[in-house]
Amino acid sequence: GGPASLSRFRGALVGAVLGDCVGGEFEGAEEVPMENVLRHLNSLDDDTKGDGILEYSDDTAMARCVVQSLLTRAGFDEQDMARRFAKEYSVSPGRGYGSGVIQVLKKLSSPQLSDVFQPARDQFNGRGSFGNGGAMRAAPFALAFPDLADVKRFARLGAMLTHSCSLGYNGAVLQALAVHLSLQGALDLPQQFISRLITEMEEVEGDEATRSDARVLKEAEKPFCDRLHRVKDLMDKSKVSIEEVISELGNGIAALHSVPTAIFCVLHCLQPRENLPENYGGLQRTMAYSLALGGDTDTIACMAGAIAGAHYGIETIPQTWIKCCEGAEDADANAEHLHTLYHQS
């Protein structure tokens, strides 16, 4: 479809759920042979599978809250979104949340709470979380707001409800920007896509909070820009090993070690690759490659799935995969509502 077509919205939201559900199998695994990844993915075609047999985790649980809040409020409302996060956690605490964020979710359910951003600020001795929990649920912001400045602003605020460290919320901004650009068809020109992300993040990371967090954590002055340059360097190489991707970009639960990685997975899989089945479409390649990196596989595949889904559209996603993943059909329906909201504003 053309820029911001319904197919791209559906691809983005369904792609994210698929990544989470399919990636859960390997979460935390150090090394994942491609053989195992393909066996897992092939098993989704079995008749015995289906009916949402693969459950979604915190990534999708929180993204659903973001979607419902944006739709119900027809825009960003921090009180409403915070309430939904807290409610979701109290109803289903066993979705594999990060060990720190649980404290925030418990505090957010207190009726006495006056500032919904305060619990996040209190995390990790006041430094705030740099986990990828803000980024993993950032895609819906790109699907609700057509304006780039709104995408940046609200993705940041939405993440700050749980992640007050700049290395946490800036990861969410980057992920939302990647989905936004992909939705416009920007991945047709991969070099311009990555350059555009760097330009945007130069501005995003130009503030004092970023500078001081980076200094404390001994990272480059603009940590995400630094990683995006590494993505660009890896794109220019004719051959890249899994080990190299992990050592250059990471595969962990920090936003800095997973959002640029997810972006690389999408870029790397824009064309057919040896080791990946020839009959796979682009989104399938992206999923398989993301899982083969190991580490935080559900979250990296979830983020890569959103960006790739916005590029390839819903038609490239196998029905059998959708049937296996809990919440994928809900995501498909919600994508249509977000598409309407987006084109209203």
Q: Which of 256, 298, 314, 328 binds Mg ion (CB under 5 A)?
A: 298
Alpha-carbon torsion 187, 157, 205, 231, what sign? negative
- Position 105 contacts ligand 8NA (CB under 6 A): no
Considering only residues 213-232, where is the footprint of ligand 8NA by CB under 6 A?
none
User: Can residue 85 be called a binding residue for ligand 8NA (CB under 6 A)?
Assistant: no
DSSP 189: S
Report if residue 124 touches ligand 8NA, rule: CB under 6 A. yes
State which residue, 122 or 226, has the beta carbon closest to ligand 8NA. 122
Q: Which is nearer to ligand 8NA, 282 or 294 (CB)?
A: 294
> Rounded CA gap, 290 and 147, in Å?
29
Query: Is residue 88 close enough to count as binding Mg ion by CB under 5 A?
Result: no
Phi, psi angles (nearest 5°) of residue 216: -60, -40
Give the Å distances, CA to CA, from 237 to 33, 198, 241, 244, 268: 22, 19, 10, 11, 10
| 133 to 152: interface string for ligand 8NA, x by CB under 6 A | x--x----------------
Q: Which residues, including other chains, have CB under 8 Å from residue 307's CB and lie 6 or more apart?
A: 12, 15, 139, 175, 178, 179, 182, 187, 262, 263, 266
Mapped onto helix, strand or coil, the DSSP state of residue 54 is: strand
Q: Which of 63, 142, 198, 253 binds ligand 8NA (CB under 6 A)?
A: 253
In total, the chain counts a number of residues equal to 345
- Asked if residues 103 and 128 have their Cβ atoms less than 8 Å apart, the reply is no
Per CB under 6 A, the segment of 40-48, 95-103, 147-155, 275-283 that binds ligand 8NA is 95-103
CB of 100 to ligand 8NA, least distance (A): 3
Which token pair is 200? 């945007």
Strand partners, 325: 54
CB 130 to ligand 8NA: min, Å: 4
Write the interaction track for ligand 8NA spanning residues 13-32; mark x where CB under 6 A is met and - where it is not: --------------xx----
Instruction: Please choose which of Mg ion, ligand 8NA, none residue 332 contacts, taking the beta carbon within 5 to 8 angstroms, the exact cut-off set by kind.
Output: none
304: its two tokens: 């890569």
Nearer Cβ to Mg ion (186/292)? 292
Radius of gyration of the chain (CA): 18
> Could you tell me how far CA 172 lies from the centroid of its own chain?
8
> CB of 163: closest distance to Mg ion in angstroms?
14
Contact 54, 24 (CB under 8 A): yes
- Of 101, 138, 267, 317, the one binding ligand 8NA (CB under 6 A) is 101
Site for ligand 8NA in 149-178 (CB under 6 A): 165
Which of residues 139 and 183 has its CB atom nearest to ligand 8NA in the complex? 139
Q: Under the criterion CB under 5 A, does residue 59 sit at the interface with Mg ion?
A: yes
Residues engaged in binding ligand 8NA (CB under 6 A)? 27-28, 57-59, 96, 98-101, 124, 127, 129-133, 136, 165, 253, 296, 298-299
